[in-house]
């Protein structure tokens, strides 16, 4: 079965540089979520999109922005990178189709993550 695809899998940047992470959801999934997992820490919710509109926002720095495109893939743009941005960035996707249930029931399927290292 198709899974969530994230690219690149590894990324090394210098401080103050920019980075773009990409996420390709499972086909027919309309919702995308971004999480940040620092070294030895739990994943922290950053932002989510449903049908190309931002649906929820967590602890995402102002230096970061994200969007979901017409083909439902999403990109997380990170500017003025700091050492503390080094982390594993997960994308997850879910489908709201045919559930008829409260939104939180939609299972999130996670990608393998992009490991960002800021030097």
Partner 1 sequence: AQSVTQLGSHVSVSEGALVLLRCNYSSSVPPYLFWYVQYPNQGLQLLLKYTTGATLVKGINGFEAEFKKSETSFHLTKPSAHMSDAAEYFCAVSASYNTDKLIFGTGTRLQVFP
Q: Is 104 helix (H, G, I), strand (E, B) or coil?
A: helix
The token pair that represents 65 in the structure block: 């922005």
The radius of gyration computed from the CA coordinates of the chain, to the nearest angstrom, equals 14
Nearer to partner 1, 15 or 28 (CB): 28
Minimum CB–partner distance for residue 102 and partner 1 (Å): 4
The answer to whether 29 and 93 are in contact (CB under 8 A) is yes
Minimum CB–partner distance for residue 105 and partner 1 (Å): 5
Nearest-CA neighbor of 92 among 35, 53, 54, 43? 35
Nearer to partner 1, 66 or 92 (CB): 92
Nearer to partner 1, 55 or 67 (CB): 55
Q: Are strands 114-118 and 44-50 parallel, antiparallel or unpaired?
A: unpaired
The token pair that represents 22 in the structure block: 């990409």
Residue in the block written with tokens 């922005």: 65
Q: Which residues bind partner 1 (CB under 8 A)?
A: 4, 31, 33, 35, 41-45, 48, 55-56, 58, 90, 92, 94, 101-113
Minimum CB–partner distance for residue 33 and partner 1 (Å): 7
Minimum CB–partner distance for residue 16 and partner 1 (Å): 28
Nearer to partner 1, 14 or 108 (CB): 108
């Amino acid at each position: 079965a198709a899974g969530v695809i994230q690219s690149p899998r590894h990324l090394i940047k210098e401080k103050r540089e920019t980075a773009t992470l990409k996420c390709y959801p499972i086909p027919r999934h309309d919702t995308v979520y971004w999480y940040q997992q620092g070294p030895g820490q739990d994943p922290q919710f950053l932002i989510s999109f449903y049908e190309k509109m931002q649906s929820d926002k967590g602890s995402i720095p102002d230096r970061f922005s994200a969007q979901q495109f017409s083909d439902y893939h999403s990109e997380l743009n990170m500017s003025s990178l700091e050492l503390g941005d080094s982390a594993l960035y997960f994308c997850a996707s879910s489908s709201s189709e045919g559930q008829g249930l409260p939104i939180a029931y939609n299972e999130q399927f996670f990608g393998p993550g992009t490991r960002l290292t800021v030097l």
